[in-house]
Chain A
Amino acid sequence: MTRGVAWLALLALVAAPLAIVIGMSFSTPDAGVPPVVPPLGRAGWQGSWDSWALIFADTFYLDTLLRSLRLAAVTAGLCLLLGFAMALGIASARPAWQPALLALVLLPFWTGFVLRLTAWVGLLRDHGWINAMLLRLGVIAEPLPLLYSDGALLAGMVHSYLPFAVLPLAAALARRDLAVEEAAADLGARPMTVFLTVTLPLAAPAAAAAFLLVFIPAAGEVVIPEMLGAPDSMLIGRAIWGEFFQTRDWPTAAALSTALLALLLVPIALYQRLSVLK
């Protein structure tokens, strides 16, 4: 009974939608509502490979995909570095302090995703807080063009995704057996050696999971590039969003989503092997 309900929920809300996206990548645009002709009709197959041909004919989409994966990798790498250091700091604090420190990581997120990004807009604008401060201090004579740049985008990405790296790493590091590290120290290893040869290897699976937990969703990010990124630096999430909402070309949006999904299949499978859900 329970398993039937669970299967039904997964098939209806996860499997079927994804299958429809893949199917819709073979549909053709139409002037009606919805603006597509499905690939399977009463007369049988009526689909086309046009949107796939479009994606591969134009290097624009491939460049976009590669740029998105690169941004996701840099974001996940920075989140992992900073997140690991923070998680280590939390895990080595006194146990009574740890919940409070974790709450300090999470509390800024109560402001809400969109408002948090507007904070960055307010800081980085030409007449924003940072430029105003620098002008007043006489460091610069003209406002620096900080917003709508790759740096602004990266700051917003790391700011938004950092807790996704900190929380699992802090949990993994808090669970670790300190006796192993003490044994290495007793046998004469220096703190740095203990860290590099014991702590780090033992935390590697958790670190890999944290990297992927940031990398996979970041590859398709829409809102952060829209609010902070350079308008001409096209990313796959924005491309899908634009094809869907502006161009109303649903087949191409579906084909781009399928391509992104295909590229993320290996990272997703890796993540699921590393995480609890097996």
Chain B
Amino acid sequence: MRRVLLVLGLAFLWAPVLLLAGYAFSDSRVPFEWGGFSLRWFTALANNARILDAAWLSLRIGAAAASLATLLGMALGWVLARHGPFAGRPVFGALAGAPLVLPEVVTGLSLLLLFVGLQALTGWPAQRGAVTVWLAHSALGMAYVAVLVQARLAGLDPALEEAAADLGASPFAVFRTVTLPLIAPSLAAGWLLAFTLSLDDVVLASFVSGPGATTLPVYLFSQLRLGMTPEANALAAVFLVVGAVLSAIAWVFRRRAG
């Protein structure tokens, strides 16, 4: 019974995705119609400058946002795990967790109004674009990193850091040589999570972006609501293969790490 439902659930998750990727190899102009095997849509995709530009911008914003989110999220997770019951902690915790659950429209509108207000007061940001999307995605990602880092820190054996301190290491040396290596897996996982959240976001980027800074999901959303082309199928197939390869690499690393 358990197994039947698991298989049914997995089939529900996979069926649309497999059909989408499978029809990428169809020669037909109509998506989801079989017209014989062909790679023409992959060629068309490789020559579509607008999709490639948007994808390149998304990758850069994603990497930058994941990096800032990891730094800020590490600080948040550290305070939550190590600073005990300080004044304002309930508010701190509520704010740290808010981006995890807030509907995207609310987060998107709130950040847009923040940037508009800042511009009116200080002149910065002069225009919205890649930088504002970067900050918005960092704000989203830092909450996810914070959860992972807090959980990891809470599970560490305090004796390890105490031993280093007893042997004369300065607090910074303890952090750099003991704590940081121990929480590194959660930082890596958090970075990847923030990166994928950024790569997949439509709503925040639609609100805080400006002309000339169209990320890949925003571009696809604007194109595909008008009607889809088999190039979208080809793109999905590429993503699926990349995802499978990265998952396999992550799996091998985890096995080596034990």
A binding-site residues for B, Cβ under 8 Å: 2-3, 5-7, 9-11, 13-18, 20-21, 24, 34, 38, 82-83, 85-86, 88-90, 92, 99-101, 103-123, 125, 127-129, 132, 158-159, 162-163, 166, 212-213, 216-217, 219-223, 226-227, 237, 240-241, 244-245, 250, 253-254, 257, 260-261, 264, 268-269, 271-272, 275-278
B169 proximal to A (CB < 8 A): no
Q: Could you mark each residue 19-34 of chain B with 1 if its beta carbon is under 8 Å from any beta carbon of chain A, else 0?
A: 1110100000011110
Once the chains bind, are B113 and A159 in contact (CB under 8 Å)? Answer: no
Once the chains bind, are A112 and B10 in contact (CB under 8 Å)? Answer: no
Which residues of chain B in 27-48 are interfacial with respect to chain A, using CB atoms and an 8 Å cutoff? 30-33
Once the chains bind, are A119 and B16 in contact (CB under 8 Å)? Answer: yes
Once the chains bind, are B32 and A128 in contact (CB under 8 Å)? Answer: yes
Residue from B10, B86, B246 in contact with A105 in the complex, judged by beta carbons closer than 8 Å: B10
| Chain-A contact segment, one of B138-146, B159-167, B176-184 | B138-146
Q: Report the minimum CB–CB distance from B222 to chain A (whole Å).
A: 10
- Chain A residues whose C-beta falls within 8 Å of the C-beta of B116 in the assembled complex: 34
B binding-site residues for A, Cβ under 8 Å: 2-3, 5-7, 9-10, 12-14, 16-17, 19-21, 23, 30-33, 72, 75-76, 78-80, 83, 86, 90, 92-107, 109-111, 113-114, 116-117, 120, 135, 138-139, 142, 146-147, 150-151, 199-200, 202-203, 206-207, 216-217, 220-221, 224-225, 228, 232-233, 235-236, 239-240, 242-244, 246-247, 251, 254
Please judge, given known A-B contacts A15-B95, A107-B243, A114-B224, whether A213 and B104 are in contact too, CB under 8 Å: no
- Chain A residues whose C-beta falls within 8 Å of the C-beta of B239 in the assembled complex: 110-112, 115
- Chain B residues whose C-beta falls within 8 Å of the C-beta of A226 in the assembled complex: 225
- Chain A residues whose C-beta falls within 8 Å of the C-beta of B147 in the assembled complex: 275-277
Docked Cα-Cα span, A195 to B12, in Å, equals: 25
Once the chains bind, are A105 and B110 in contact (CB under 8 Å)? Answer: no
Q: Which DSSP category, helix, strand, loop or mixed, fits chain B's interface?
A: helix
Q: Report the minimum CB–CB distance from B217 to chain A (whole Å).
A: 5
Once the chains bind, are B103 and A264 in contact (CB under 8 Å)? Answer: yes
Residue from B102, B106, B111, B240 in contact with A111 in the complex, judged by beta carbons closer than 8 Å: B240
- Chain B residues whose C-beta falls within 8 Å of the C-beta of A278 in the assembled complex: 90, 93
Residue from B3, B9, B98, B251 having most chain A Cβ neighbours under 10 A = B9
Once the chains bind, are B114 and A277 in contact (CB under 8 Å)? Answer: no
Docked Cα-Cα span, A252 to B98, in Å, equals: 23
- Chain A residues whose C-beta falls within 8 Å of the C-beta of B221 in the assembled complex: 114, 223
Residue from B20, B86, B106 in contact with A21 in the complex, judged by beta carbons closer than 8 Å: B106
Docked Cα-Cα span, A25 to B69, in Å, equals: 29
- Chain B residues whose C-beta falls within 8 Å of the C-beta of A38 in the assembled complex: 117, 120
- Chain A residues whose C-beta falls within 8 Å of the C-beta of B92 in the assembled complex: 6-7, 10
Docked Cα-Cα span, A223 to B113, in Å, equals: 21
- Chain A residues whose C-beta falls within 8 Å of the C-beta of B78 in the assembled complex: 2, 6
13 cross-chain CB contacts under 8 A = A85-B6, A86-B10, A88-B2, A89-B9, A104-B10, A105-B10, A112-B235, A116-B20, A129-B32, A217-B103, A220-B106, A222-B203, A227-B225
Please provide the 5 A-B residue pairs with the shortest distance between their CB atoms, ordered closest to farther: A220-B103, A110-B243, A89-B6, A17-B110, A85-B5
- Chain B residues whose C-beta falls within 8 Å of the C-beta of A13 in the assembled complex: 111, 135, 138-139, 142
Q: Report the minimum CB–CB distance from A207 to chain B (whole Å).
A: 15
Residue from B7, B102, B151 in contact with A217 in the complex, judged by beta carbons closer than 8 Å: B102
Once the chains bind, are B98 and A112 in contact (CB under 8 Å)? Answer: no
Once the chains bind, are A261 and B139 in contact (CB under 8 Å)? Answer: no
Residue from A14, A16, A240 in contact with B98 in the complex, judged by beta carbons closer than 8 Å: A14
Please judge, given known A-B contacts A20-B110, A222-B203, whether A272 and B97 are in contact too, CB under 8 Å: yes
Residue from B2, B31, B224 in contact with A92 in the complex, judged by beta carbons closer than 8 Å: B2
- Chain A residues whose C-beta falls within 8 Å of the C-beta of B139 in the assembled complex: 13-14
Please judge, given known A-B contacts A107-B244, A122-B32, A272-B97, whether A115 and B9 are in contact too, CB under 8 Å: no
